Structure formats: C-alpha cells, structure tokens
A and B are shown apart, each in its own frame.
Chain A
C-alpha cells in the first residue's frame, strides 16, 4: 500500500543555523522521493529571514514546472510598503496559485492581532487557503482569538512540541477552523488521542523541514494506531480539501 502524503509545512533555501537543508527544489524532490511524499507546499527561506516579497517571488519561480510542488507565501502587514495592500497581495497569490500562507509575527516584529494585520487576515479568510503559524510565533491564546475572529480561515499551528496539549486541546475544542500539523506533534500518543477526541479532520501531514527531520513525521503517521482511512485523511485528504478552497472541517 502507498499512503498519499501531502506536506503542508516545508521550506526550501538556505538557513543560517544549519547546512542540513534542501537548498533548492531539486534537493527537496530527492528528499520527497526517499520518503514517498507526493506533494509539498513550499515556502522559500528568503521570505522568512531575508526579504519577504523577494522570497515569495522565489517560491513561485522555484516550483514553476513542478506539479508536485505548490508555492507558499509569507504574509506581512503592508504598513511600510514592503508588500502590496491586502487585496492586491491576495490577488497576486490567487494568480500564482499560492496554496498556503505563513505568518511569523515574532521573527518579523509585528502584532498578528493588531489593526495592521486586520485587512490581510480578512482577505486571506476570503481567499480560503490555510494560514500556518509556528507555535513559537503565536501563543495558543492568540490562536484562540484569531480563530474566533476569522471562523472561515483555516489556522494551522505547526511545530506544537510535546508540552502544549492542555492549551491546544482547549483551542481545538472551541474552534473547528484550527488544525495542527505533524511536524512535531510530539507528545506520546497524542495524535491518536486527538483523533479520538476530535476526529481525523483536525491534523495535517507536515514535515517542518528543514527545522525538523522529515522522516520524523512520516514514521509518526504511518506507524500510528489509526486506521487506514484516518491516515489517508491526515496524510493528504484534509489538506487537499483546504487548498482547493474547501471549508474548514
């Protein structure tokens, strides 16, 4: 059997703190083949730690011609003119087939819930593609507020770690539009616990590379106690629904 895997959480490009990265999409595709990952949403590291607009352009350029890869963009407030106004930014994303967005408010020095991002979040919600947030960028109480303000926006919390189930479970119970990925859903048996509690629709397959070893998430899902239908949903089905504009589960 082959489990269909669609990675919501990957970056390509250099990283200052490690050489263990996929420098380009060719290297990324090699890693994907080895781990039998069918498709990946790709954010370019330049959009994270160099120049957001240029990095977003690189994501589009690098995945061009690769059917298995889809661009992911990093969002910013438009207060300094680094990115176009929200409607224009999201319009460009639509034209380029951007499959998901990522916000890094700690690394990029802004308030995700403040007035400077309100317009962008409204536009993202209307476009209907997921917004990824690393747990070290947006604490759970902020995820709680964000998901309540934007109930049609799929909020995907990545790299959740192994010490955060208490707040995570509360937010997942209150908001059907919040998801977690497998990049580091680290607590023992918590994937099975979440599926039993919330169903298989709230977890997405994501590797978190290059920050995480992509083999981690593959082993975690395939060796889970879940039945094949749940594994299929988490491996790819949930994300396919979200990136085609499907409503949150």
Chain B
C-alpha cells in the first residue's frame, strides 16, 4: 500500500471536498470588514472563519479595511476585536498610516499580543515606501523583530519593486513581506532577483496574476524560507490562492514552509509563546504526522 505524502493528501482532501488535515496553513495576507469600493459578502470575522474552517486554514493575519482606509486607530481596534472573536484563528497586523502619527500607532499596539506584525499600504496612503515617515516602522521592526507586510505593485510610484531594494538595504534587520510580490507577472523575475540579494525580503504571493508556476519559480530561485502563502481575503476569495499553491508541484517540505512554516518562524521571533504558531514553525517538521 502506498502512503501518499502530505501534499498529495492535501490535494485528495480538496477533491473529496474535505478540509485540509496534515499540512498547517497560515494566510499571511488577509483583511476584514466592509469595504466601499466594491461589494464583499460575508466580510466579517464569521464569514472569514467559515472559509478557513471549510478549507482547513489554521491562522490568518488580518488588518481591517477601516484601518487601511479612514480610521487607523479605530480600525486597529476593530482588528483586535476580530482576533478576540476568532477564538485564536486570527492574528492582527497593525496598520500604520504615514500621515497619522505612525509612532503613536506603534506605541499603542506593539505590545498587544493580539498583533504579530505591521501592515503598510503606500499605494492607498499615497506615500512612497522609501519616505521618511515610515522610518519609525523600520526602526521598530529592526529592534523588535516583527514582520512588516507592505503592499507592492510593479510600476507604482509608491511601492515599485526597486524601492523595496532601497528599504531593505537601509534596514537589513527589518523583515519585510513584499505583499503581492509586485503582482505583475512580467516583473516577477526581478522580484526574485531582489529577494536573492536581500534575505530580509520575504515574498508574499497573493494576487490576481499569481499562478502555481510562478510560485514554484520563486521557491526554486529564492528558497521556500523566503516565500509565504497569502490570499488577500476577503478582498479575493481565499480558495483561489490555496488551489494554485497546492498544485504548484512543490516538494512537500517546501510546500509546508510556504503554506505555514516560513511565516510561523518569523512570527515566533516576536511572539515566541503564541500557541497558534508553535506547531507550525519547524519547517518540514511542520507537516503533521
């Protein structure tokens, strides 16, 4: 009798319409709450939890839409409430708005264990990722070790790929998650090259243009220790991103790192006692026996 590995077992679970069991998953890029620019049904904690349970996603790192758009403090409080409501399945990312006293934001939330990192959105906030108002974030990230998830988009005036090289070089001790990895396919080889040169750049892989082939390319070029799974839900349905990851033809050890091991290792540097990540942070050993 042939025993299928965890990756094959995960694909079988999908075909049989069962939740994943045997391969821990952390979604490193999620949001939550209502959004004005387009309609999102079931956008709250309950709707997000239902999808996570349906698929078998263990943990998601969330930042509320309110925090990203209109109200950074009220929105971060909303994120904290989502974490409470989730019963341990969600963890927060603190949104820092460069126009609204990011130092005060960090002082308010950094020691709150419901949060495990920071989220920046230079595009929405119309402020370049290389700008000086983000300096308190990079300094705190270097000093405290928490990961900073940053929206990126190849060609953008606010968060283009080369700009992250500048930041990574200035702050080699800050761990930067390159949200969407620049998103546009033609630029993904440049993104991989940049990550090879800067080990503090971690490639987060959600987005409308990502495919399993590109995910595998990232792992082959950069290594699974620098690639993390994200979905951007409830903007984009989580199931699109998990499908391409499971069928990316990654070796099981690499798949385990991408789906949960790599981000868990990063989070455990700042929250070593958080039980949500204890089981997930050991790389290939993260595959449950």
A residues sitting closer than 8 Å to B (CB atoms) are 1-3, 17-18, 20, 34-36, 161-166, 169, 184-193, 212-213, 215-220, 222-225, 228, 231
Q: Mark B38-64, 1 if CB is under 8 A from A, else 0.
A: 111111000110110011000000000
> Is the Cβ of B247 less than 8 Å from the Cβ of A188?
no
> Is the Cβ of B15 less than 8 Å from the Cβ of A2?
yes
Given A189-B41, A215-B244, A223-B17, 18 extra CB contacts under 8 A = A17-B186, A20-B211, A165-B38, A165-B39, A166-B38, A186-B208, A188-B40, A188-B47, A188-B234, A189-B40, A189-B42, A190-B237, A213-B213, A217-B240, A220-B237, A223-B14, A223-B55, A225-B54
In the complex, which residues of chain A have a beta carbon less than 8 angstroms from the beta carbon of B102? none
> Is the Cβ of B243 less than 8 Å from the Cβ of A215?
yes
In the complex, which residues of chain A have a beta carbon less than 8 angstroms from the beta carbon of B14? 218-219, 222-223
Instruction: Indicate the member of B55, B236, B237, B246 with the most A CB atoms within 10 Å.
Output: B237
> Is B80 positioned at the interface, with any CB of A under 8 Å from its CB?
no
Complex Cα spacing A217 to B41, Å: 19
- The minimal Cβ–Cβ distance linking B240 to chain A, given in whole angstroms, is 4
Q: Lowest 8 A-B CB distances belong to which pairs?
A: A219-B243, A188-B234, A215-B247, A213-B211, A193-B41, A163-B38, A215-B243, A216-B240
Complex Cα spacing A135 to B41, Å: 21
In the complex, which residues of chain B have a beta carbon less than 8 angstroms from the beta carbon of A191? 237
> Is the Cβ of B41 less than 8 Å from the Cβ of A219?
no
Complex Cα spacing A94 to B212, Å: 37
> Is B133 positioned at the interface, with any CB of A under 8 Å from its CB?
no
- The minimal Cβ–Cβ distance linking A208 to chain B, given in whole angstroms, is 11
> Is the Cβ of A188 less than 8 Å from the Cβ of B39?
no
Interface range for B: 35 or more
In the complex, which residues of chain A have a beta carbon less than 8 angstroms from the beta carbon of B242? 219, 223
> Is B233 positioned at the interface, with any CB of A under 8 Å from its CB?
yes
Contact (A189, B234) CB under 8 Å given A162-B38, A213-B243: yes
**A–B complex contacts, Cβ < 8 Å, 29 sampled:** A3-B17, A20-B214, A161-B208, A162-B237, A163-B37, A165-B41, A169-B39, A186-B208, A186-B236, A187-B38, A187-B237, A188-B40, A188-B41, A188-B43, A188-B238, A189-B42, A189-B237, A190-B41, A213-B243, A213-B244, A216-B240, A216-B241, A216-B244, A218-B243, A219-B240, A220-B237, A220-B239, A220-B240, A220-B243
> Is the Cβ of A219 less than 8 Å from the Cβ of B246?
yes
In the complex, which residues of chain A have a beta carbon less than 8 angstroms from the beta carbon of B233? 188
In the complex, which residues of chain A have a beta carbon less than 8 angstroms from the beta carbon of B48? 188
* Chain B residues numbered 54-100 whose CB sits less than 8 Å from any CB in chain A: 54-55
Complex Cα spacing A161 to B47, Å: 20
- The minimal Cβ–Cβ distance linking B103 to chain A, given in whole angstroms, is 33
The one of A36, A162, A185, A225 in contact with B15, judged by C-beta atoms closer than 8 angstroms, is A36
Nearest neighbor of A196 in chain B, beta-carbon distance:
B41
> Is the Cβ of B38 less than 8 Å from the Cβ of A189?
no
- The minimal Cβ–Cβ distance linking A222 to chain B, given in whole angstroms, is 5
The one of B41, B213, B247 in contact with A20, judged by C-beta atoms closer than 8 angstroms, is B213
> Is B198 positioned at the interface, with any CB of A under 8 Å from its CB?
no
> Is the Cβ of B239 less than 8 Å from the Cβ of A219?
yes
In the complex, which residues of chain A have a beta carbon less than 8 angstroms from the beta carbon of B42? 188-189, 192-193
Complex Cα spacing A218 to B42, Å: 22
